[in-house]
Structure 1
Amino acid sequence: MRDDEILGRIKELVDEEHGLRTRLEAGELTTDEENARVQQLEAALDQCWDLLRQRRARRGAGDDPDGAASRPAGQVENYQQ
């Protein structure tokens, strides 16, 4: 994935998260349903941000950013900068 594709995916995930909150407020889904999906979205967001950071770091080091790879959600969740 290119940087712009990753950023586009991040936007999609954030938009979905906002939509879930709106649907919750409207009573269209339960808190448990919303929480479960938000956890999935947050894990996917962590992966996207991690991949973008890897690509930028590789580019900054003069390496090929396409050598970056998505890591498992469990590895990148709660990443501390």
Structure 2
Amino acid sequence: MDDQEHDIIGGIDGLVAEERTLRDRGGRDPGLTAEEQKRLRTVEVRLDQCWDLLRQRRALSEFGEDPSQARVRPADEVEGYRG
């Protein structure tokens, strides 16, 4: 794992922790504020982008390409993927 991949994983860890905090808070009365709901959605999208970037880097590396060529894709592109 190179430094950039390590940084991406660290970012994912931080976003996952924030997502858990928001979801825990949202499960209690009175729930999330409008601002917190917006932040949760932003965190979810950013997580999807980070995971996509990590997958791109690993695929490029696996096939002998330069993983630094991977780029963060727009939210609407990443959110449009089907599992």
The normalised TM-score by structure 2 is 0.81
Distance 1:27 1:14 in 2: 22
Where structure 2 has 5 or more consecutive residues not aligned to the other structure, the ranges are none
What percentage of residue pairs aligned between the two structures are identical? 49
Cα deviation, residue 79, structure 1: 2.5
User: How many angstroms apart in 2 are the aligned matches of 1:69 and 1:43?
Assistant: 15
Structure 2 residue aligned with 1:20: 22
What is the TM-score of this pair, normalised by structure 1? Answer: 0.82
**Distance in 1 between the 2:81 and 2:51 partners?**
10
**Which residue is 1:5 aligned to?**
7
What does residue range 44-59 of structure 1 map to in structure 2 within 5 Å?
A: 44-59=46-61
**Structure 1 residue 36: deviation in Å?**
1.7
Contact 1:46 1:79 in 2 (8 A): no
Q: Which runs of 4+ in 1 moved over 6 A?
A: none
